Chain A
Amino acid sequence: MFFDFLIVGLSIGIVYGIVALGISLIYSGLDIVHFAHGEIFMLGAFIGLVLFNTVGLPYPVALIMAMIATAVIGVVIERVFYRRLTRSGGGYTVAGMGMIIVGFGMAIILQNIAFLAWGATSFGYDPIYGPPVDLGGISLPRSYLWIMVVAITLMTILNFFLKHTKLGLAVRAVAANKEIASLMGINVPVMISVIFGVACALGAAGGVLIGPINFVSVEMGYLMLIKAFSAAVIGGFGSLPGAILGGLIVGVAETFGAAYISGSHKDIYAFILLILVLMIRPSGIMGVIVKVKA
C-alpha cells in the first residue's frame, strides 16, 4: 500500500509541479506573482478537451496544440494587459499591488469567458486509459504513467531550452538582470513574452494531463492555483527545480496525510507544510538568497 500511495502522490504532485513551474518561471522573469495562472490551467484543459473530444485529434497532439494555443493566449494577455503595468514598475519589473490586482481581475475575466463558452457544467475527456498495469503487486493506472512520462519529457525539454539554446540563455539573462540583458543587445520585451508563453503552455499541459481523471470545469483553476502556489513556495519561489520538487512534496504529503491521518481534510496538509517550510526556511527548500533585481 505504501508504494500505491507514493505513486498516487507523485502523479498528482508532478501536475502541481508543472503548474508551479509556470508560476515560478513568470516570477523569475517578471518578478510578479501571476494569480490568474489557475485560470490559464483551466483554459488549457478546455482547449485540450475541445481538440480531443470535438475535433478528434489524438491525445498527444491535442496536448501539444493546447499548449501552443494557451501559450499564444498567454502572450496576448501579457502584451495587451500586463505590459503597461510591468513597465511602470521600471524596467519590466515589480509594479506592486497593481499587478496583484490585475492578476486577480484577469482570473475573473478568464473564468467568465470560459463560463460563457462552456457554461458551469463539468466535462470529461473521452476514455483514453485502459485498466491499470500490474507491477509486481502494485497496480499502476495508465493515467499515472502518462502524467509521469509527459511531465518528465516537458521538464527535460524546458531544461534543455533554458541551458542549451541561445533563446534560453537570453531568457535566463533577462531573468537575472533586465538592464544588463538589454545592454547586451537582448530584446527584453520579446523575452518576457517568451517566458509568459512558456509558463502558460506549462499550465495548459497540467490541465490537459489532469483532465481525463478529474474532469474539466470553469472552477477547476482555483484549487490548482493554491496547490501550485504552495508547491512553488515550498520549493523556493523562482526556483525551477524547486517548483517541481515542491509539487512532488505537496502531492505526496497530502496523499500520505489522507492515507495515514484522515482523508476528510486533505487540502489542509499542503498548507500545514507550507507554513512549516516558511517558518523554518522562508526562502523555500531550493530558494535563492533574496537579491535586488533591476
Chain B
Amino acid sequence: MKRTLTAAIAASLFGAGLLASGAAMAGEIRIGVTLRMISENGEKQGEMIKDEFAAINAAGGINGNTIKLTLLNDECKSDKGVANANRLVYQEQVHLLIGSSCSSVTLPIVAVTAQAETPQIIPHSTSAAITQQNSEWVFRVPISSRFYKGVMAKYIGDKVGTKVAYVYVADEASRAETLGLVGLMRDMYGVEPLFLEQSQEKEIDFRANLLKIKDLNPDLIFIAGQAEAIARFLVQSYEVGIPDTVARAGSSAVSNAPAAILAGDAVKGVFFSAAYSDSDTRQIAQDFNKMVRERYGINSVDHDFSQAWDLLQIVKLALANADLKLTDDSLAADRTAIRDAIAGIENYEGLASGPISFCAAPTPQCRDGNRTPVLISYVKGGKDFEVEVLDRVTMPIDFGL
C-alpha cells in the first residue's frame, strides 16, 4: 500500500512536471492598445478588442501562445497617447502596439515606436503624414487622407460644383485633409477656394465664419475636424440660415457615430469618404453589423468599428505567421518577427472595401495598406443614423505623393 502510494505520488509529480514544462513552452504575446475611448462607440471598440483576444486565448491562443492585452484610453490627447505608448513599450514591454484613433495622437507615437523598435499598427488615424515619417515599424489599416481627398475632389468637381468653402479645425488630420483637397481641386479643376479658414480646436462658436460663407453662396461647404466640431459646424450652418441647397461634405471623422448623433437632422445629405459603410450588402459586412448590434448594442456601425475588426484579423494572421520565441531575451527578435509578418500580409480581404496589402519598405506605398475609399452620404441623422454609398474607388498606390 505504502509502495503504491509512493508510486502514485511520484507519477503525479512527474505528470505535474511535464505539464509545467509544457506551460513554459507556450509563451505570452504582449499587445498594448491605446485608443480614443471617450464615446460609447470608442468604449465598445475597446470592448470588442478585449473580447476578440479573450476568444483567441479561450481557443488555445495563437500557435499555443496566449495574448496578454493592455488596453489604455488616450482620450484623443497627444500627451496621454505618448505617455501610454511609453508605458506600453518600455514598462509593459509589449511585442506589438495598436494605436491610436486620432492622427494628432498617432503622429507623436510613431516616434516612440520607431525609437523603441516596436511594431505599431494603426486602427483609425488617417493623416498622410503618419506613414510619410518612413518608420519601418509602422503599418496603417485605415485609408490615408491622400486617398480620401482624391475620391472627394473628383466627386465634388464632377458632381457638385467648384465653388467650395473650406473650414477646418486646427488639428493635424483636418489640416492635412483640407489643404490636400484644396490642392487637388486646384490641380484637377483649376479652382481656388472660395473661402478657406481654420478654427481653434476648442472653439464653440463658428457662426462668424459661417455667415461669411453664407454671403459667398458656395456650391459646397467642406468641413474638417473631429466629429464633435463637425457636428457643431453643421448645426450652426443651419442656425445662420445656410440653406440645404448648399451641399455639405465632411472630412473622414464625420463618419464617426458621434457626428451623426450630435448633429441630428443637420447631418442629412452630408457626404464623406470612408473605409466602410454599414449599408454594404456583402455577407461578411452583414454578419459583422449583426454581431456589433447584438453584442455591443450599436445600431449604426461606423468605419471605426470595421477598421478595428480588420486590424484584429490582420494581427491574428501576422502573429500566426511570425516565428516567435517569447523568452525573456527574445523581445527585440520577436518584435522584428511581428513587424516582418505584418509586412508580409498581402491582399487581405475583410470588411474594407478593397484588399489590404503591406510590404517591407518603410514607405507610404508599402505602409498605407488600404487604398479603396467609399463615398458615403447620410440619409438620416441621430442615434440610428443611416447612410448610402455614392461611389467606391481604388486609388493608384502613388496617388498624392
Assess whether B208 is in contact with A5, with CB atoms less than 8 Å apart. Answer: yes
Assess whether A124 is in contact with B240, with CB atoms less than 8 Å apart. Answer: no
Scoring B residues 225 to 268 as 1 if CB is less than 8 Å from chain A, else 0, what string do you get?
A: 00010011001101111000000000000000010011111000
> Known contacts A139-B241, A264-B199; is A215 also within 8 Å of B211 by CB?
no
B203 contacts the other chain (CB 8 A): yes
B215 contacts the other chain (CB 8 A): yes
A8 contacts the other chain (CB 8 A): yes
Question: Which one of B38, B200, B241 lies within 8 Å of A131 (CB-CB)?
Answer: B241
B204 contacts the other chain (CB 8 A): yes
- A222 contacts across to B, CB distance below 8 A: 202
B279 contacts the other chain (CB 8 A): no
B299 contacts the other chain (CB 8 A): no
In the complex, what distance in Å separates the CA atom of A263 from the CA atom of B207?
10
- B263 contacts across to A, CB distance below 8 A: 124
B87 contacts the other chain (CB 8 A): no
Assess whether A263 is in contact with B258, with CB atoms less than 8 Å apart. Answer: no
Q: Is the interface of B mostly helix, strand, loop or mixed?
A: helix
Assess whether B241 is in contact with A141, with CB atoms less than 8 Å apart. Answer: yes
> Known contacts A121-B39, A259-B212, A263-B208; is A223 also within 8 Å of B264 by CB?
no
Assess whether B241 is in contact with A121, with CB atoms less than 8 Å apart. Answer: no
User: In chain A, residues 207-233, which have Cβ atoms closer than 8 Å to a Cβ of chain B?
Assistant: 210, 213-215, 217, 219-220, 222-223
In the complex, what distance in Å separates the CA atom of A214 from the CA atom of B206?
10
> Known contacts A4-B211, A259-B211; is A129 also within 8 Å of B239 by CB?
yes
Assess whether B40 is in contact with A132, with CB atoms less than 8 Å apart. Answer: no
Assess whether A214 is in contact with B232, with CB atoms less than 8 Å apart. Answer: yes
Chain B residue nearest in CB terms to A132: B241
In the complex, what distance in Å separates the CA atom of A210 from the CA atom of B258?
19
Assess whether B197 is in contact with A8, with CB atoms less than 8 Å apart. Answer: no
- B236 contacts across to A, CB distance below 8 A: 213
- B38 contacts across to A, CB distance below 8 A: 119-121
A122 contacts the other chain (CB 8 A): yes
> Known contacts A12-B205, A121-B40, A214-B204; is A266 also within 8 Å of B258 by CB?
no
Question: Which one of A122, A124, A258 lies within 8 Å of B208 (CB-CB)?
Answer: A258
Assess whether B208 is in contact with A215, with CB atoms less than 8 Å apart. Answer: no
- B209 contacts across to A, CB distance below 8 A: 258, 263
**Which residues from chain B sit less than 8 Å from chain A, CB to CB?**
38-40, 75, 170, 197-200, 202-209, 211-212, 215, 228, 231-232, 235-236, 238-241, 258, 261-265
Further pairs besides A4-B240, A122-B258, A264-B197: 19, Cβ < 8 Å: A1-B212, A4-B211, A8-B211, A119-B39, A124-B231, A124-B235, A124-B262, A126-B264, A214-B204, A214-B232, A220-B204, A223-B202, A255-B207, A255-B208, A258-B209, A259-B212, A264-B170, A264-B200, A266-B199
**Which residues from chain A sit less than 8 Å from chain B, CB to CB?**
1, 4-5, 8, 12, 119-124, 126-127, 129, 131-132, 139, 141, 143, 210, 213-215, 217, 219-220, 222-223, 254-256, 258-259, 262-267
* 10 pairs, A vs B, C-beta closer than 8 Å: A120-B75, A124-B231, A126-B264, A127-B264, A132-B240, A139-B240, A214-B205, A263-B199, A264-B170, A266-B208
4 smallest beta-carbon distances between A and B, as pairs? A258-B208, A120-B38, A139-B241, A121-B39
